[in-house]
Amino acid sequence: MRRKAWALSSVLKVFVSKVDPNYAQPWQMCPQRTSTGSAFVLDTAKRTILTNSHVVSNATAVYVRRPGAAKKFKAEVVCDGKVCDLALLTVREDAFWAAELRGLEFVDVPELQSPIAVAGYPVGGDNISVTKGIVSRIALVRYSAAARLLSIQIDAAINPGNSGGPAFVDLEGGKVAGVAFSKNISSSTDNIGYIIPYRVVKHFLAEADLHGSYRGVPSPGFLTQDLENPAQRAFLKMPDGVSGVMVVKTDPLSGAHGSVLKNDVVLEVDGVPVADDGTVEFREDERLEFTHIIRAKHIGEQVHLKLLREGQELCVSYPLRAKDHLVPVLDAVDAVPSYFIVGGLVFAPLSSPFLEMVFGGGGGRRSRRADIPVPVLAALNQNKTRKGQQVVLLVQVLAHEINHGYRYSVVPCESINGRRLHSLRHLTHLVDTCDQPFLNFGLEGGRLITLATSEVRAAGPQILLTNAISSDRSPDMLLPKPDDEDWDAAGAWDDDDERAAGGLGGAGDSDLE
C-alpha cells in the first residue's frame, strides 16, 4: 500500500479561474468562470508539472493541491501546447516541493489489453479517484481543430475533472502510459476514453526545452485519396505489387508545393511503404494513417517521399511547416479576437473560434455546420494563396441612421472601392486613407453597402458611445503592415476573375471535420 501511495501522492488537483475571449463581440471578454482538473508531478529537479492545455487555457489564476492536503499552492503556466492539448506548470514556493514528491515515469505505447488505472479528480467528490480498465485500441484522434495525433483508447472511466491526470500501467511502480484528456460522449457508445501517449508528450517536452514554447506539429502540405480502384491505378501507371495514395491538392504556402504535384502517387514516407488505403504498419496487426509519421516530426525537419510520377519513381525531400490556415483554428495560436468598426459595420476575420461562439453556443462546443452560411462554410476548405491572407466578415451592423437599410450579418466582405481585400488590417488601412466621397463595401454575391465617408467619420464616436465600445478597432489593427505581406498582390476586384480563381482562396484541404 505504501508503494502505491507514493505514486498517487504525485497526482494533483488543479483549481483554475479563467476569462475566455469573446469572438462574437471581440471588444469585450466573456464572464469569468472557474473549473477544476488534474495534473501530476513530472520532474522534481526541474519543478515541472504536466496537465492538459484545456484545463489551464485562458487562466487568470492557477492553484494546485496535493492529495490529502488542505493548502493550495499558486502555479504558473510555463508552456502551453494547445495543438497537442498539453501544458507545463511550475510552483515557485519551496514549501510545495519540500513534501515527499517524486516524478512519474512514462513508458511507450502499451500493448492491447494492458491494464490501465486512471487517477485524477473527476466530478462527484473532492478526493482522488482511481478507475481501472484496459487498452482497447491505438488510433489517431483529433486533439484540436489543428491536428489528428496518436492516442490510446481505453475503457476506464474518464469524466470532467479527470483531464490532465495520469493513466498508470503500473501503479505500484509509478509507470505512466499517458495523460487523460477526452472521451467519446456519443449516445451510441460506452466506455470510450482517450489518453495522450508518451510519443506525443515527448514531442511537446522537446519543443518546450528547445524553444521555450510549443510551435505545433507539421503538416504534410498535400491532400491525398486512396488508390483501391484498378482503373485508377492503371491510369496512374502503377505496376503490380506497388501501393500508395494519389495527391489531389497541395498547399501553396507549404514546403511540398513545387516538390509534390497533383496526381503524384506517394509510395513511401521516410522509407515506410504506404498502402492503397493510406495506412502504414504501426505494430503487428495494427495500422495507422501515414500522416502520423509526418506529424511526429518537428517543424523544420525534412521529410523524404518516394513518388510515382507518370510511371517513373523519384524521391523528393522538403522542410516541414505548420499549416497556415486561411481560416484560423485555435485561439491564441493562429486566431485572435480582432475587429474593426466603421459606420456601425462590424468587421472581423473568419476563424473557427468565431464559428464555435456564434453558431455553436460558445463554451468550446463545435459549431453546428447546418446553421453556418454556405459562403462562410466554403471558406473552410480553401487554402491561403498569399501570406497573411484572411477572410473578412461583416459580422453585424450597429444600427444608426447612416447605415439604415443594411441588415447583413456574418457575410464575407470581398472588396472596398474596387480593391480586393487581403486582410482585416488591409481593410482598416484602406478606410483610414480613403479620400473618396463614398465607401463601397463589396459583399459576397455581388451585394454592395455604400456609406458617405464624411458621415462615417462624423458618426463614429457616437456609435461607439451608444454601444459602450471603447475603441473602433482591436489593438492588433494599430500595428504596421507586416513586411512579408503583399497587399498590392490582391489587386482590383473583378467578379469574373474571382469566380475563375475559385472564390476567396485557393482550392485546398482543411483539417476541420
What three-state secondary structure class fits 38? Answer: strand
Contact 441, 418 (CB under 8 A): no
Q: Cell digits for 160?
A: 470532467
CA–CA distance, 50 with 166 (Å, rounded to integer) = 9
Helix ranges (H only) for 374-452 are: 374-379, 424-432
H or E segment to which residue 141 belongs: strand 129-144
What three-state secondary structure class fits 186? Answer: coil
Q: Which residues are part of the catalytic machinery?
A: 54, 85, 163
CA 94 to chain centre: 35
CA–CA distance, 285 with 270 (Å, rounded to integer) = 21
- Which residues are within 8 A (CB) of 122 and not within 5 positions of it... i.e. 6 or more apart? 129, 157, 158, 159, 160, 161, 162
Contact 40, 12 (CB under 8 A): yes
For residue 208, CA distances in Å to 77, 87, 92 come to: 12, 10, 18
Burial class (CB in 10 A: 0-12, 13-18, 19+), 34: exposed
Q: Cell digits for 118?
A: 486512471
DSSP state of 403: G
Tell me the residue type at 98.
A
| Number of CB atoms found within 10 A of residue 466's CB | 13
CA–CA distance, 51 with 86 (Å, rounded to integer) = 6
How do 392-397 and 411-416 pair as beta strands?
A: antiparallel
To 5 degrees, how large is the angle CA 468–CA 469–CA 474?
165
Q: Cell digits for 161?
A: 475533472
CA–CA distance, 9 with 237 (Å, rounded to integer) = 61
Tell me the residue type at 236.
L
Give the CB-side neighbour count of residue 274, counting CA atoms within 13 A. 29
Contact 472, 348 (CB under 8 A): no
What three-state secondary structure class fits 405? Answer: coil
- Which residues are within 8 A (CB) of 16 and not within 5 positions of it... i.e. 6 or more apart? 34, 35, 36, 37, 55, 56, 59, 61, 62, 63
